């Protein structure tokens, strides 16, 4: 099964999870990682930040490929939010441990921004929010999990599709959003932008 697209699609991300998710739903794509920086501006709320960051990533790749007339570019960015704290990727294992301690026994939000660009302009953007409930975690569990290295390149320092599934008591909203790309919203965005012709 393969989705019918009206133009080629480029994924502006090096994320293996996003590649796997698009492949799972049969969307054909090529990969061109973005060089755009992911820096939150002062006073910028989490949803605005990830949506802008997703747009910046797609824009950077779209403008690079525009001369070749290369179809659509999909950008995405994900953060974990606990209270007012926005958690991106951990700087190191000590930072990962600090993040996971904060998430232990709590409910947090995972927010992903998604943007589609083509021909040097943004065609559509959206974001999705999922609530995730963690059970209480003890220090031994946290230390062993961090040592695995699974969460080193992931927002919130964990991978819900991996060993960290054992931390999760509940998920309210899009599961694929927690992995890194809200699939239902992304397919709707592709349809809205005129990219998705037929699916599944």
User: Encoding tokens for residue 171?
Assistant: 């998920």
User: Encoding tokens for residue 69?
Assistant: 């007339």
Among the listed residues 45, 77, 138, 140, the single catalytic one is 77
User: Encoding tokens for residue 139?
Assistant: 């220090």
45 flagged as catalytic: no
d(CA 25, CA 1): 8
Q: Enter the pTM of the model.
A: 0.94
Closest to 55 (Cα-Cα) out of 123, 137, 149:
123
Per-residue pLDDT of the chain (200 residues; tens, 9 = 90+): 789 999 999 999 999 999 999 999 999 999 999 999 888 999 999 999 999 999 999 999 999 887 666 799 999 999 999 998 999 999 999 999 999 999 999 999 999 999 999 988 999 999 999 999 999 999 999 999 999 999 999 999 999 999 999 999 999 999 999 999 999 999 999 999 999 999 99
User: Encoding tokens for residue 199?
Assistant: 């699916």
d(CA 89, CA 173): 22
Percentages (nearest 5) of helix, strand, coil residues in the chain = 40, 30, 35
For each of the domains in the chain, give its residue range(s) and CATH number, in order of start: 4-198 (3.90.950.10)
């Amino acid at each position: 099964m393969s989705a019918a697209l009206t133009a080629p699609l480029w994924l502006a991300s090096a994320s293996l999870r996003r590649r796997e998710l698009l492949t799972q739903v049969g969307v054909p794509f090529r990969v061109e990682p973005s060089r755009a920086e992911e820096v939150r501006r002062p006073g910028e709320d989490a949803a605005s930040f990830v949506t802008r960051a997703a747009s910046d990533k797609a824009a950077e790749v779209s403008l690079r490929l525009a001369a070749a007339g290369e179809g659509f570019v999909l950008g995405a960015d994900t953060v974990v939010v606990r209270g007012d704290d926005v958690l991106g990727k951990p700087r190191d294992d000590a930072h990962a441990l600090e993040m996971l301690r904060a998430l232990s026994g709590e409910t947090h939000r995972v927010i992903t921004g998604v943007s589609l660009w083509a021909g040097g302009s943004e065609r559509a953007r959206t974001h999705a929010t999922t609530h995730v409930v963690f059970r209480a975690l003890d220090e031994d569990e946290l230390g062993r999990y961090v040592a695995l290295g699974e969460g080193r390149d992931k927002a919130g320092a964990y991978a819900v599709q991996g060993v960290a599934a054992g931390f999760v008591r509940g998920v309210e909203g899009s599961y694929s959003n927690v992995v890194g790309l809200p699939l239902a919203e992304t397919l709707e965005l592709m349809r809205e932008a005129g990219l998705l012709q037929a699916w599944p």
